[in-house]
Amino acid sequence: MTTTRFAPSPTGYLHLGHAFSALFAAKQGDRFLLRIEDIDPVRCKPEFAEALFEDLSWLGLSWEKPVRFQSQHFEDYRANLEKLRAMDLLYPCFCTRSEILAATHAPHEGETPVYPGTCHRLSKDQREDWMATKPYAWRLNVEKAIKMTGPLSWHDAAKGEQQAKPQIFGDIVLARKDIPASYHLCVVTDDALQNIDLVTRGEDLFDSTHIHRLLQALLDLPTPDYHHHPLCRDAKGWRLAKRDKSVTLRSMREQGRTPEQVRNEVLGLLHT
Ligand code: GLU
């Protein structure tokens, strides 16, 4: 019995790429769950969550209820953050985005730069002083964490056995300045709490799995199998984006296309 999930963020209308991801997950699971990743109250909107239920139903999908909304489970994320803090694996980071950008360079255009470890080197006094006066995020001391767990691996259905390389992102943020959690922390917590044993998602998230594997080991959580699928691209080879209205499921439905036609279109877009 395999449990899979589709975990969109309600930041816009779903497009063909999401349709593929959702169909892919549903097809591989005996149980299929939907999770709304809405921890960011600025970017996520309840109306987009409503719209995605509608669009996925129209596409012919159904899922177990109740749907898990991450914004209703900050206690779960806090508990895991506390565990890591008790293991002395976290440190507060006061850096602003522009300070980080000035101190490093992003590996590729648009990518998050690898954090240079500035706040890890603060003195105890400085740290305590700033904690009382400045906003801060919590970062994971990845080198220390890796020493604790030793080498780790995980399995991807498309690419086979992987040696975990969690250091590629540097010391990642587990709780943001504005939100007491982060994508990595929430995903790992929820996949375990929801007993997901096969995580299917786009290959743009392949590298995140290195971090997720490390967090699972630190928090003593089971490691699911993974299947990172290719992304749907338009005729020019560009990734589909939520801001491109022409490919939203909504606009296709309004133009009179049937769910069957859209499902076929999705398969056609998949350049493997
Ligand atoms: N919420 C993420 C997204 O919309 C997907 C998370 C995941 O599948 O792990 O890109």
pLDDT greater than 70 at residue 87: yes
pLDDT greater than 50 at residue 272: no
Question: Has this prediction a pTM greater than 0.75?
Answer: yes
Query: pLDDT of 119-147, one tens digit each?
Result: 999 999 999 999 999 999 999 999 999 99
**What DSSP string describes 137-196?**
EEEE-HHHHHHHH-S-EEEETTTEEEE--GGGG-S-EEE-SSSS--HHHHHHHHHHHTT-
Centre of ligand 1 from the C-alpha of residue 9, in Å: 7
The answer to whether the CB of 48 falls within 8 A of the CB of 11 is: yes
pLDDT greater than 90 at residue 108: no
Question: Would you state the pLDDT for residue 266?
Answer: 85
Question: Would you state the pLDDT for residue 243?
Answer: 65
The answer to whether the CB of 64 falls within 8 A of the CB of 5 is: no
State which of 69, 201, 204, 227 you would mutate to test the pocket of ligand 1, scoring each by most atoms of that ligand within 8 A of its C-beta: 201
Residue 208: CB atoms within 10 A of its CB come to: 19
Q: Indicate the Cα dihedral angle 148, 93, 169, 191, nearest 10°.
A: 70
Segments of 38-128 assigned E as strands:
68-69, 90-93
Centre of ligand 1 from the C-alpha of residue 202, in Å: 8
Average pLDDT over residues 88-112: 83
Which atom number of ligand 1 is nearest to the Cα of residue 8? 4
Q: Which two tokens stand for residue 61?
A: 């999908």
Average pLDDT over residues 32-45: 98
Segments of the chain assigned E as strands:
3-6, 31-36, 68-69, 90-93, 137-140, 153-156, 160-163, 173-175, 198-202, 225-229
Question: Would you state the pLDDT for residue 124?
Answer: 96
The answer to whether the CB of 107 falls within 8 A of the CB of 113 is: yes
